[in-house]
Every structure is written in structure tokens, then in C-alpha cells.
Amino acid sequence: MVVPDQRDPDLTRDRLTGWLATRLPDAGGVAVPTVGRPYAGTGFSSETLLFTAEWTRDGERHERRYVARVAPAAYQVFPDARAGFDRQYRVMRALAGHVPVPDVHWFEPDPEHLGAPFFVMDQVEGRVPADMPPYHQDGWVTEVDPLARERMWWGTLERLAQIHRLDHRALGLEFLDQPRYGATGLEQRLGYYAEYLSWAYDGPQPTARAALDWLRAHRPPERHPPSLLWGDSRIGNVVFAADGTPRALLDWENATLGAPEEDLAWFCYLDRHHSEGIGVPRLLGFPDRAETIVGYEKLLGRPMEDLEYYEVLSAFKFAVIMARIGQAFIDFELIPSDSDFPANNTATQLLARVLDLPMPGEEPAPFI
């Protein structure tokens, strides 16, 4: 499900054309002949527009394909999505040349043009695994050779290790710290998601609340300095070449500082959700959890510590996100207002299994 598309394509094309002409002042005949989307409708977190631009310079005609990421105007999945929308742009600019990200060209803070701030980057040729339907269930990932899937998996993890080895201070990324939620690391992450949970959905969240209690009670020591985290580390945020080689890493809106274990746990957990969580087997070629942990320890050069804790954190985080998406479904009248979907969905059901809690709809016992 996605937010119904309410954008006028002709008006959008005209506005992009006028805006682009101001960004290419030495070009003539600027035109935007096509504007589309990577899938039907508009996503919740931020809107993605794919467009082709044409112009003439020094008598030569040019054509280039771009992506515009537009700040959420209709609905926010994350509490600070609008206020911190420029963070994605700043992170991707800082990462250029260090990890494969699309070339980012312009940031436009004025909402006059597209109804919200946006930034423009190059389109990268390739394919991205789908979330709807999940890639273990259907789509092009089910059709490729298992060796290509293995390359997708390890290639993404190699890029993830590159991220975790970067010096975020040297890159000027200290702004990703959010001290208002607590000290950098787990205290901050739990503070952020506790506030997020209260904001996400108006109804009760017994499964997520029980998980938050568990996470607070079992918080492990943090033995290493904070690293740069991708924040949404998964193969569904990677553009792949036909042979399974990663070409670009996408979606940096949740980039933060913390333990690499958090990124690795999210990587494994989202894949688990897209298989076990929806009741379908994992595709051949993707390494299992144990292989992944051993392989990543070699890539990063140190053991992964307290990974079970970070997997619970991942399950909790996804339940909070799905609660907010469930609230959006209600607000957009895609489901009835009395639906229990925000508290009873595949994410909360898998969270309950991870912590051996009663299934959503039953009252879980509190953790003490």
C-alpha cells in the first residue's frame, strides 16, 4: 500500500523545467519531457520522482536522467523527516568518493516548486529488490542465478564495512548525532525510538512497549567508539548490476552514529522479515545468519558483539515504523479507523516471536 498519488504530472513537469533552467543558466532549450516514479503511487517516507532532462549548450544537445527526492508533504513516517530533510543530501555529498552513492547535484529548500524541499541526483542504471511484494516472494530477485544473489549479499556487506570504517568526523558528519535523545549510541537510539513510538500511533502498542522495556533492561555495554551507520542497511536499498554487483547505495535519511552491530542486525532482520515474517522460504544463494556474521567479522576486522540484542532492537524499530505506516493507512482511509493493523502486522508478529511474547491481540506480560 502507498499514499494515493495526488501530484499533477503536467504541472510537475512544467515546474521541474522552470526550476532546472535556473540551475543550468548557461544552457538553452531546457526541457523535462518525462516525469515518472519507480513504482505506482507515492511512498510514505519521501517522494521519488524520476525525470529526463534535455538542454542545449554550445550547439550540442544533452540528455540526462535524474532522480528528485522530495521531502514528505502529505505524511511523515519519521518524526523529524521534514526538519532534517537536508541531512540526506549532506550525507551523500560527504560520502561521494568513499562509498558508491549516486552523484548529488542540487538541494532546493524552497517548497514553492514541488510543494516541499527536494534534492536532485543522478539515476543509476540497475535494479533494486522490491519490498512489495518482498523479494523472497516475487520479482526479479527470484529469477536470477543463486550466484548473483550471493554477490548481492556479500557485495552489499563489503560496502557496509566500508561505511563502518570511515572517520565520520573527518567527513564532517558530526551533525548526525542527536544528543537531545541521550548519549551517542544505545541510550540515544532508545530515546529516539521511545519518542517515535509515542508519536507514531494513537492506539495501544503492547508488543512494542514490552520490547522497549526489555531493551532498556538488557542494554549491553558499548566497548567501541561510535561509527557512521547507514541506518537502513538492506539489499532493498541497493541498485544492482545484472550480475549482482552493487552499483549505488540509496536512502540515507536514517544515517546516524552508533555500533556497526545495529546496521548488521537490521540487514539480517529485514531479510528475515521478508521471508520468515511473511511465511515464505529464503531464496537459494543468500547466506544464512551464521555465515553472515562470520563473514562480516572478517570484513570489519573485529567480532560482532551482543548481536542478539541488536536484533531485538531491529525488530522493535520495524514495529514502530509499521505502527506509523498503519496510522497513515487509517488517515488515508485505506483501512478502517478501528483496524488493529498498526499494532498487529507482520513486523509486530515477528517481534513477538523474537522475544517469545504472546501474539499481538493478547496482553503480553511486562518485562522486569
Q: Which residues are catalytic?
A: 232
- Rounded to an integer, what is the distance from CA 354 to the centroid of its chain? 22
Q: What whole-number distance in Å separates Cα of residue 335 and Cα of residue 340?
A: 10
Q: Tell me whether strands 28-36 and 118-122 are parallel, antiparallel or unpaired.
A: unpaired
Q: Which residues contact 265 (CB under 8 A, 6 or more apart)?
A: 307, 310, 311, 313, 314
Which residue's C-alpha cell is 540497475?
126
| Residue 46 φ/ψ, nearest 5 degrees | -155, 155
- CA torsion sign for 46, 17, 127, 294 is negative
Q: Which residues contact 113 (CB under 8 A, 6 or more apart)?
A: 15, 16, 18, 19
Angle at 104 between CA 98 and CA 106, to 5 degrees: 145
Q: What whole-number distance in Å separates Cα of residue 178 and Cα of residue 188?
A: 7
CB 211 within 8 A of CB 316: yes
**Gyration radius of the chain's alpha carbons:** 21
Q: Which residues contact 171 (CB under 8 A, 6 or more apart)?
A: 94, 95, 98, 228
The x, y and z cell numbers of residue 117, run together, are 524541499
